[in-house]
Amino acid sequence: MATVFERDDQVLELEASRDNPVALLRAAQAQFGEKLAVLSSFGAESALLLAMVAEADPAMRVLFLNTGRHFPETIAYRRDLAAFLGLTNVVDIDPDPARVAQNDPTGELWAFDPDACCALRKVEPLRLASLGYEAMVTGRKRGQASTRSQMDVVERREDGQIRINRWPTGALMKFRPKWHGAACPLTHW
């Protein structure tokens, strides 16, 4: 694990590429190699980020959180989009089956305790999956919550892990015309 000072240098180096998403992904891959992963829901808005990952390095590890509660169309889209983009290292992250059997045996926890459902099927599996990585590329967007409105493109968390968040809209718009991908079957755009 790098020291705090090395991490500050890493953040600065990555920040230099912040306006070019593909270059930023390549710089992160060069710095962290197998200690870098991309988190993706494979939703409609994730396709653009995944297209940039494919351009940067189709073998970059992409983690998909399979909650066990996705629509069949989402699972099919995950498979089809990965194939369409040529992504070769998509790893499914599943909740602990024993904990699901114990805490959500009927699969209806979401209906009466959505926070517990999220903790069981999303928060804990993602926390455990991210422990092995020094850097994570996320799909977090500034417009999702007021707490995210000022988040940096590249940030170092208190635990030392580096997070690469969604790029400024201008950087994404420059890339969008280059990519015409498969549409998510659950959206109308």
pLDDT tens digits in sequence order for the chain, 189 residues long: 454 445 577 778 888 777 788 889 999 999 999 999 999 988 777 888 898 899 999 999 999 999 999 889 889 989 999 999 999 999 999 999 999 999 999 999 999 999 999 999 999 999 999 999 999 998 765 555 566 566 778 888 888 899 888 665 565 556 554 555 665 555 544
Q: Which tokens go with 143?
A: 């417009």
Residue 2: per-residue pLDDT: 52
pTM for this one? 0.82
Residue 6: per-residue pLDDT: 56
Domain assignment present for 188: no
Residue 181: per-residue pLDDT: 61
The domain in which residue 147 lies consists of 4-177
- Please state the φ and ψ torsions of residue 162, each to the nearest 5 degrees: -95, 135
Maximum pairwise Cα distance, the chain: 49
Count how many domains the chain has: 1
Q: Which of 17, 9, 25 is nearest to 137 (CA)?
A: 25
Domain assignment present for 182: no
Residue 184: per-residue pLDDT: 55
Domain assignment present for 184: no
Are 57 and 25 a contacting pair, CB within 8 Å? yes
Domain assignment present for 156: yes
Domain assignment present for 55: yes
Distance of CA 173 to CAs 1, 53, 77, 176, Å?
A: 35, 16, 23, 5
